[in-house]
């Protein structure tokens, strides 16, 4: 059975999080050796790339993107998180300006998107007319 880089990263993090430094060194050496034996050594860079996401996921931290056509202030970001049903301590927020939105705001969580942008509303209106 083949595992994805994300699955390897999650498993490796879970094992390493319970070990002291000397145990962790041995575990990493064994992990690299096992990957080599399985012919998956080329997958290691991708596993390392997936580690930050695996750590956040294991700790219950979700990435949230808040986009607006204009700079986003703290109060707006907090309101966006509240609308998404998230607490600031449970998420890692990225604020981004996207002039293509024209105005308004778009919030993307792990499995939820709230599109309150002018661009989103125009697209919905267009779609309604095309039906």
The answer to whether 54 and 6 are in contact (CB under 8 A) is: yes
What's the pLDDT score for residue 2? 82
Shortest CA distance to 63 belongs to which of 54, 74, 71? 54
Shortest CA distance to 55 belongs to which of 63, 45, 66? 63
State the Cα–Cα distance between residues 76 and 118, nearest whole angstrom: 16
State the Cα–Cα distance between residues 73 and 93, nearest whole angstrom: 13
What's the pLDDT score for residue 111? 85
Q: Is 108 left (phi over 0), alpha (psi -120 to 50) or beta?
A: beta
What's the pLDDT score for residue 45? 96
Determine the angle formed by the axes of helices 44-58 and 5-16, rounding to 10 degrees.
Answer: 60
Quickly list H helices, the chain: 5-16, 21-37, 44-58, 74-84, 118-130
Q: The tokens 């105005």 sit on which residue?
A: 103
What's the pLDDT score for residue 43? 94
Per-residue pLDDT of the chain (131 residues; tens, 9 = 90+): 788 999 999 999 999 999 999 899 999 999 999 999 999 999 999 999 999 989 988 888 999 999 999 999 999 999 999 988 888 888 999 999 998 999 999 999 888 999 999 999 999 999 999 98
């Amino acid at each position: 059975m083949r595992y994805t880089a994300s699955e390897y990263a999650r498993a490796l993090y879970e094992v390493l999080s319970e070990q002291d430094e000397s145990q962790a060194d041995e575990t990493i050496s064994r992990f690299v050796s096992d990957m080599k034996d399985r012919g998956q050594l080329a997958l290691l860079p991708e596993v390392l790339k997936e580690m930050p996401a695996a750590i956040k996921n294991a700790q219950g931290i979700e990435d949230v993107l808040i986009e607006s056509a204009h700079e986003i202030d703290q109060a707006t970001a907090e309101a966006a998180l509240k609308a998404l049903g998230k607490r600031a301590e449970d998420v890692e927020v990225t604020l981004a300006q996207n002039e293509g939105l024209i105005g308004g705001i778009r919030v993307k969580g792990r499995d939820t998107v709230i599109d309150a942008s002018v661009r989103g509303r125009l697209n919905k209106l267009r779609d309604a007319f095309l039906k």
